[in-house]
Structure 1
Amino acid sequence: MTGRLVLVWALVAAPAAAQRLGARVTAAPDGIVRLSFAARPGVCGDGHNVIALECAGGKCGWGRGGRTITVDRGFDRDEVEYDCEPGPVRVSLTVRTGRVQSLRTYVGGRWVAPRGDAAVTDLGTVASRDAVEFLLGLATQEDAGGGEEAILPLTLADSVTVWPLLLKLARDDRAPRRTRRQAVFWLGQAAGDAATRGLADLIDEGDVDRDVKEQAVFALSQQPHDAGVPALIRIARTHPEPGVRRKALFWLGQSGDPRALALFEELLTKP
């Protein structure tokens, strides 16, 4: 019984509805637990291994704009166009003795009816905010399987501004390091001045692990150039840690931005 309560206690700071969702997952028999929630605008998928961001009109792929994730293969640019369904986000959890062992994320499509001998618990459609709180609680647990994988689906949720939650997670030294790095990566996909400032502040904080700072430098490189390049230039000029400065210079070199070239010329010709 104690094992089945672990997930519930990890969510004590979450709203009551999210706690109830965690309790439902914990109480499920060993096997697969499924849940679905609304995707934010611009998110769509093929129901299998493709999730697309910033798409419009149900079409994504080469020449259509947006960004495509092929699950388990990172970012990809497809050579074909494909029809894309605007949600829902589908999360499949493998649960053993009340603990989440692993997690898979899909967008669109339909759940396949389980085989006769498969133990599948379908929690149906849940509120996006409750799903985000549950997934965030899962991500912060040191001993939870799927914690790192929980970051992606929470970034896809509708009606929730997730970047402040990701920034808080990235700063939480109690959270697993791999999960913090994943939070920083997805923070880098959140365009906007506030997200850029949050990343820059994270890099400047003295008590943040170096590898998390370096991941934040990469995340800045993923921001629109007008936001990310000035921040990277400042870091390359003034950051006290040589390794962080080198990372900033590397990603500036990948940007092709004329401001980066001007910085390189300045550094190379400086006495």
Structure 2
Amino acid sequence: MFDGRFEGDEVEYDCEPGPVRVSLTVRKGAVQSLRTYVGGRWAIPVGPGITDLGMVSSRDATEYLLDLARGTDGRVGEDAILPAVLADSVTVWKTLLQLARDQRVPGRARRQAVFWLGQAAGDAATRGLADLVDEGGVDREVKEQAVFALSQQRDGDAVPALIRIARTHPDREVRRKALFWLGQSDDPRALALFEELLTKP
């Protein structure tokens, strides 16, 4: 029977909004896993080897988490992005764009950064994603993730960028991804592009 507790009684859920909480498992000085919770009530941590840092400023937490994403390969680096994005009163999209562009950052974290950039509203995020697709030093997977992220922009704001990518990008696979997501957009500008491409001699 489920008693409302999760992960060894670490947190109880009531499905209500609340602060972002992050639980790290650290062994030999390295983060092994990271879990993010929103809301709920913390059980009082007890036992050897458990350290409760208490409340940490959003800015400090975000800096730590994005540094963790930048320097940790695998799932931990990827998982560090979500709580940074959820942090209150901190703007992270510029740092996410830097992470996405940095070839030294592990691929999983870079793709996760691009995903969350796609969820950011505004022209600046759209421009940043479109620029990321055009950069020569960015690998194809990250470019394709940027195309997907553009497709997630609300109100069709990124449709012109996707159309430009579909028409002019030098990588055929990236063009195909842009066309695919344009096909999902139900936007009349995308339909006009398809008509143009299909009727062009």
TM-score (norm 1): 0.67
User: Aligned residue for 2:16?
Assistant: 84
* Correspondence for 2:61 among 131, 144, 159: 131
Identity of counterpart residues, as a percentage?
74
1:110 paired with 2:41, answer: yes
Extract structure 1 runs of 4+ deviating beyond 3 A: 116-119, 142-145
Q: How does 1:247-258 map to 2 (within 5 A)?
A: 247-258=177-188
* Correspondence for 1:213 among 143, 149, 170: 143
Q: Which has the higher strand share?
A: 1
**Deviation, structure 1 residue 258:** 1.1
C-alpha distance in 2 between matches for 1:242 and 1:96: 44
Q: Which amino acid aligns with 1:102?
A: S
**Deviation, structure 1 residue 140:** 1.1
Q: Deviations over 1:97-116 (max 9, x none)?
A: 111001000011111234x6
Q: Which amino acid aligns with 1:252?
A: L
* Correspondence for 1:178 among 78, 86, 108: 108
Q: Deviations over 1:177-231 (max 9, x none)?
A: 1110010001100010000000000000011000000000000000023311111
Q: Deviations over 1:116-168 (max 9, x none)?
A: 65642110001000001000111111457611100000001111111000000
1:240 paired with 2:198, answer: no
C-alpha distance in 2 between matches for 1:126 and 1:251: 40
Bigger RCO of structures 1 and 2 (CA < 8 A, at least 6 apart): 1
TM-score (norm 2): 0.90
Q: Which amino acid aligns with 1:246?
A: R
Q: Secondary structure at the match of 1:197?
A: helix
Is the Cα contact below 8 Å between 2:74 and 2:106 reproduced in 1?
Answer: no
1:159 paired with 2:89, answer: yes
Residues 98/145 of structure 1: CA separation in 2 closer, same or farther (3 Å cut): farther
Q: Which has the higher helix share?
A: 2
- Give unmatched runs, 5+ long, in structure 2: 1-7
